[in-house]
A and B are shown apart, each in its own frame.
Chain A
Amino acid sequence: MSDVVKFHFDVDGHDFSSAGEASVAVKQKLRALGYPPDIIRKVSIAMYEGEINMVIHASGGTADVEVHEDKIVIILRDTGPGIPNVELAMQEGYSTARENIRVLGFGAGMGLPNMKKYTDSMQIDTTVGQGTTITMTVNL
């Protein structure tokens, strides 16, 4: 029985320039652990999209990554505004981001669908006014 390796990060919601740092760190760690490039790429893209969302749509939060024997689990928790209509938010091209986000290179409404695409399972628990927790799994 191998142990579960865990990583924890605080995601600063008030400093856009640091957005994505946690995902970069996870990518480095997974590389050091010797995981195959395609697995690392899936985890990286899904986590990065979610991390950016926490910064641009919520006010930051926490990111936890658990490396199990048979899967990698990414848990992103924020205490932002929540997502009123998840089905709508999951549609490609749906975004509430305004011009101030688009000039930063984000806000095309592609993040959530991309997170689903690159992971084997994705669960969104969200309450308006309280926050959002997204749990994604990539099977090994």
Chain B
Amino acid sequence: MKIGEIQSLLGAKLLCGEDRLESDVWSACCSDMMSDVLAYVKDQGVLITGLVNPQVIRTANMMDMVCIIFVRSKTPSEDMIELAKESGIVVMTSTLRAYEACGLLYHAGLGREVGDGNV
């Protein structure tokens, strides 16, 4: 799925990374615990979270994730957006709750596309 499709599915507002909307992603994870993202994420390219601090951006960077979606209208600071730009990470914010955002993306096939290598 293209990052741009995620944006339109969630009706999300793009905060940075407009040049990467055509990039493909295959799976996502949702957590407010960065500890768990660090311990359990494998190759999920998208992070859905309601936590807002610079460690969200840095954690995604460490995990080679390419897109962060803040839910419940949470909005990162300018500094955080700057960090994301430096790391080449797309950031968007959605008014949806995490459960709804995950449901929509899962229903649209993210993380369960045939032949994407996931089990």
Contact = CB atoms under 8 A, between A and B. Distances in A.
B35 A106 contact: yes
Given A17-B53, A19-B55, A24-B87, A107 B62 contact: no
A49 interface: yes
Contacts of B19: none
Interface in B40-96: 51, 53-56, 58-59, 61-64, 83, 87
Contact of A48 (B38, B51, B56, B64): B38
B54 A17 contact: yes
Interface stretch (A4-12, A37-45, A72-80, A131-139): A37-45
Interface stretch (A57-65, A82-90, A108-116): A108-116
B80 to A, nearest CB: 9
Chain A CB count within 10 A is highest, among B36, B38, B58, B61, for B38
A21 B36 CA distance: 20
Given A110-B38, A114-B38, A105 B58 contact: no
Interface residues on A, range: 20 to 34
Nearest to A106: B35
A13 interface: no
Interface of B: 32-36, 38-39, 51, 53-56, 58-59, 61-64, 83, 87
Interface of A: 16-21, 23-24, 27, 37, 41, 44-45, 48-49, 52, 102, 104-111, 113-114
Given A20-B59, A24-B83, A109-B35, 6 more contacts: A48-B58, A104-B53, A107-B35, A110-B36, A110-B39, A114-B39
